Structure 1
Amino acid sequence: MELSIMYCDWLNQWLERKTHFIKASTHGTYSNLIINHIIPILGNIPISSINEDHIQQAVIYWATQGKMNCNHGLSDSTVRDILSIVRLSIKDARKYFQLPAQSYDIYSPKSYRSPLPKILSQTEHKRLTTALLNDINSRNCGILLTLYTGIRIGELCALTWQDINLECQVISITKTLQRIFTKNSDGSGSSKITITPPKTASSIRDIPLPSFLLPIFKEISPSNANSYLLSGTLKYIEPRIYRLYYTSFLEKVNINHISFHGLRHTFATRLIENGADIKTVSEILGHASITTTLNLYTHPPLEQKRKCIELLSI
């Protein structure tokens, strides 16, 4: 029984064991979090000696100053992901080395960063739509599609014309494209593009194509159905490159920058503002639970809050 094995050595073994049971993107995320954050703090502790205090102090560090090259803390979601890896890997280690099971009560420091993402105002929403319609091309159609369907950028980059049924006016989301970065224990790393099914079964879905986009899509549709929507060719455009194009377009039309994912937030928020039911919105977005939709994608504007308050005025 190798009770003296260091946690860093076990993490490398554990990740190798997981290789055939998790998606390549998940493996890349795990390896990066392990190399960048877990091993530097907990790696030199024997696996049999890691206790609740070690993990609690590590969580405090990650949450307050864990961001690489600066003194800022990692995001709440990143800390949760790291803690999940720690819990899983230690649980598997205790089972593998036949150590007694142990539970940990770990708390995360209070985060004061605003969890609300930036979205387009209604005025910006209309201005962006007008600018895109006045400059129609394949890449701009992708921005329009995200703004009016909430499609994720990886799903958009993987979308080909065979996924778009113009006759039925439906878009089928069955895959996602992403660049996976993997970091090795020696500090070296590599990346590759993957096109895989979406992360969850609920992300595989059909989305109605907005009627006003139908004639535009018919106009730009290529003869080869295997062509990618964003390029109009058999060559994909990866998310990093497309984000750069999106940013430059916002600058060109003088609209304040929001992240590309902010278009998805904008889409969901506008639907809720206009009375759409949460369950339908949740399914269009590809969420497994309507709780996710409520917590992350609906942000009543100040005007709407004011109307709500005024309902009780005397």
Structure 2
Amino acid sequence: MATKTNFTSNGKKYYRINYDIGMDADGKRIRKQFVGKSRKEAEKKKLDYINKMNAGLKDAKNMWLAQTLKSWLFEVVKMSGNIKPTTFARYEGLYRNYIENSPIGCMSLDKLESIQIQRYYNKLFRQGKSSNQINYVNKFLKQFLNYAVDCGYILKNPCSGKKVAIPKENSDKVSERHIPVFNNEDLTKIIKAENSKIKYIALFSLSTGMRRGEIIGLKENDIDYKLKEIHIRRTVATTTIFDDNNKRSKQTIVQEPKSKNSKRTIPLPASLVEIIKASIKIKKSEKLKAGSSYCKDNLDYIFLSEQGNLINAGNLDKTWSKFLRSLNIPHKKFHALRHTYATKQFENNIPLKTISMLLGHSSIEITANIYTHVLKKEKEKSADILADIKTMV
């Protein structure tokens, strides 16, 4: 039996149904067409559309993922005033590198399904992207799709719940996570190195576990010598900034610490007092040398560039690399000093909760996950109670 059709397009026969969806400003009827290979298929498309409208959904047929996500990112997220510049720069990078020209980026929101997202993640994993990186992409995409649900573009978030799995290596293949730390020989070289600004910044991290941006964001009045405390109230970061026309530029800025717990007060080690005073002395010497060209806007910061500007993260990294080479120490990122501090604290039996608070982690679970290998080694040192009792009998 031949399939009934009612119109032809490009030499092919279809069945078309018209549906009134309202009136325009002139009182004329607004109609929407539903086309299928048969009347049954066209009717189904119409019914699906009516159900979506009744559920409060908007027509997302021509709302492409990449295009709509970009609009959300620059017109909603950026303009909300609730996002740090560094966070927005990270989001923009995730969009540009993983969504804009991706296999799912050209899909309309109403056609996007969990299995398509899963296949994309699997492809990224096979290409060498880590589980952590894919997880960042998923969190970002999930956040946008929650917005799409709120706006009525889609009924459900295809990333919510357990609809999508983050690809991971089999547990028996996963090697123990390596956390870079400096050995005692390297630390001795750093401590005995010729006095300099980069040495003092390094010793600050080594003795407090502070992040790089937190150290170069310290002001003189953040140090309480009487109560022997350091108040961490801000961080300095070099990041991509987008102007009103979304033009990109690199800038060094001051912003709130990384998380709520990052804004904290930690003990001031006695060994750090002289280092702070020596650092301030370097700053004053550089100010005197630069004369009128020295920037007067940041005088209360402990660490500044030779011209009195906030220290650029890229420049600090270069200086750090040069410093390690001069001491014949294998290169490790500056952040390895923070890892070294935490490891030394564990080795001295400082409780996990205390170390987590000192580091400014948002949760104790983060600390435990990062330093799993250290905790394991410390547990292996625990006493064999039965063996100790036997020796006493």
TM-score, L = length of structure 2 = 0.69
Q: d(CA) in 1 for partners of 2:377 and 2:369?
A: 20
Match of 1:70 in 2: none
Tell me: CA distance 1:302–1:8, structure 2 relative to 1, closer, same or farther (3 Å): closer
Match of 2:22 in 1: none
Equivalent positions of 1:145-164 (< 5 A) are: 145-164=204-223
Match of 1:139 in 2: 198
Tell me: CA distance 1:147–1:301, structure 2 relative to 1, closer, same or farther (3 Å): same
Match of 2:90 in 1: 29
Local SS of the residue matching 1:158: coil
The answer to whether the 8 Å contact 2:113/2:158 transfers is: no
How far off its partner does 1:219 sit? 3.6
Q: d(CA) in 2 for partners of 1:298 and 1:142?
A: 27
Q: Aligned residue pairs: how many? A: 302
Q: Do structure 1's residue 9 and structure 2's residue 79 form an aligned pair?
A: no
Q: d(CA) in 2 for partners of 1:216 and 1:255?
A: 22
Q: Do structure 1's residue 121 and structure 2's residue 180 form an aligned pair?
A: no
The answer to whether the 8 Å contact 1:116/1:296 transfers is: no
- Counterpart amino acid of residue 341 in structure 2: F
Equivalent positions of 1:100-115 (< 5 A) are: 100-104=155-159, 105-111=163-169, 112=174, 115=177
Match of 2:9 in 1: none
Q: Do structure 1's residue 56 and structure 2's residue 121 form an aligned pair?
A: no
Deviations 1:49-77 (A, max 9, x none): 10011110111122232xxxxxxx23332
Tell me: CA distance 1:245–1:102, structure 2 relative to 1, closer, same or farther (3 Å): closer
Of Structure 1 and Structure 2, which has the larger fraction of its residues in strand? 2
Local SS of the residue matching 2:101: helix
The answer to whether the 8 Å contact 1:203/1:286 transfers is: yes
Match of 2:100 in 1: 39
Q: Do structure 1's residue 246 and structure 2's residue 320 form an aligned pair?
A: yes
How far off its partner does 1:175 sit? 0.8
- Counterpart amino acid of residue 92 in structure 2: S
Could you say which structure has the larger radius of gyration? Answer: 2
Structure 2: state its 5+ residue gaps. 1-57, 285-297
Equivalent positions of 1:269-284 (< 5 A) are: 269-284=343-358
Deviations 1:271-300 (A, max 9, x none): 001111112111110012222112213543
The answer to whether the 8 Å contact 1:56/1:106 transfers is: yes
Structure 1: state its 5+ residue gaps. 66-72
Worse overlay, 77-86 or 297-306: 297-306
Q: How much is the aligned-residue C-alpha RMSD, in angstroms? A: 2.9
Q: Do structure 1's residue 290 and structure 2's residue 364 form an aligned pair?
A: yes
Q: d(CA) in 2 for partners of 1:303 and 1:286?
A: 23
TM-score, L = length of structure 1 = 0.85
How far off its partner does 1:163 sit? 2.0
Local SS of the residue matching 1:48: helix
Match of 1:196 in 2: 255
The answer to whether the 8 Å contact 1:6/1:43 transfers is: yes
Q: d(CA) in 2 for partners of 1:291 and 1:301?
A: 12
How far off its partner does 1:301 sit? 9.5
The answer to whether the 8 Å contact 1:141/1:230 transfers is: no
Q: d(CA) in 2 for partners of 1:38 and 1:79?
A: 12
